[in-house]
A and B are shown apart, each in its own frame.
Chain A
């Protein structure tokens, strides 16, 4: 899968946050809190990642009373592409600063 996403600090933050959870689904608000990005910045990035098939999404019932929320996680291809993206984005210093773990 080609790494054709423009490297911005915000995109690196989102991709990094998604990479850190190996198989878990993430809420938009959790991603927003973790990356420090506001919804207006976060969601256009999620749109672009989904367009490139890096992300998959589904609706989930939060709990018995809660309304359904939308969740995201990297696809298998997306995970590989995301790693390449982080490597390309980053100098080691940038990756370390963002807390990216290679494991």
Chain B
């Protein structure tokens, strides 16, 4: 059995990995690259072909994602608004963290990791916003979980008397419930399963 036919065919495995990341219609280009790889015999030229091809497929994937990000015509308005809400939330959290920096009294060796953790936590809504913007279904789930946790957290603070029953925290809970409800709607769910952009080979 030749090297190409074994499961340890590294060039083929590498190229196949990146090929699997492409949407179905674009993946035909990856199949074309894999077919050429099959025709090559030299170890070095096969590896060169696979490494460079992987980079090329990554570029095609990036171009696809870029188009989806900015030119997707089927993005529902509620998703745009929820995405903007999360992006704003992220910016506000980051602003609050940065504005507190001058008031840090402990040494930086102590404050660094808590600061890093807070920045990481603050970027979560930003990641959700980006995911919603590109209609990533996992971002939809993450947004619902995030809203659920956020709403429960606020409710816990209200019910234990650590927050007064004022319009702001109750409004935030209402917003969380609304986000979960909207993102669970069948029409919104279906928008997160858009067909891939056609980059097919058939001319």
Contacts and interface: CB of A to CB of B under 8 A. Distances in A.
Interface of A: 27-29, 32, 38-44, 46-47, 50-51, 53, 55-57, 59, 62, 66-70, 75
B35 A50 contact: no
Contacts of B36: 27-29, 39, 69-70
Interface of B: 29, 31-33, 35-36, 38-40, 48-49, 51-57, 59-60, 63, 199, 201-203
A41 B39 contact: no
Q: Which 8 A-B pairs give the minimum distances between C-beta atoms?
A: A40-B56, A38-B52, A40-B52, A70-B32, A40-B55, A39-B53, A56-B203, A43-B56
B201 to A, nearest CB: 5
A34 to B, nearest CB: 14
A29 B203 contact: no
25 contacts: A27-B36, A28-B32, A28-B36, A29-B40, A29-B49, A32-B49, A38-B49, A38-B53, A39-B52, A39-B53, A39-B56, A40-B53, A43-B29, A43-B56, A43-B60, A44-B59, A47-B29, A47-B199, A50-B203, A55-B203, A56-B203, A67-B38, A67-B39, A68-B35, A69-B39
Contacts of A51: 199
Given A28-B32, A40-B53, A44-B59, 12 more contacts: A39-B36, A40-B54, A41-B56, A43-B56, A43-B60, A44-B56, A50-B201, A66-B38, A67-B38, A69-B36, A69-B38, A69-B39
Contacts of B201: 50, 57, 70
Nearest to A38: B52
Nearest to B56: A40
A43 B53 contact: yes
A69 B35 contact: yes
Looking at B48, B54, B203, the one whose CB has the most chain A CB atoms below 10 A away is B203
A66 B54 CA distance: 23
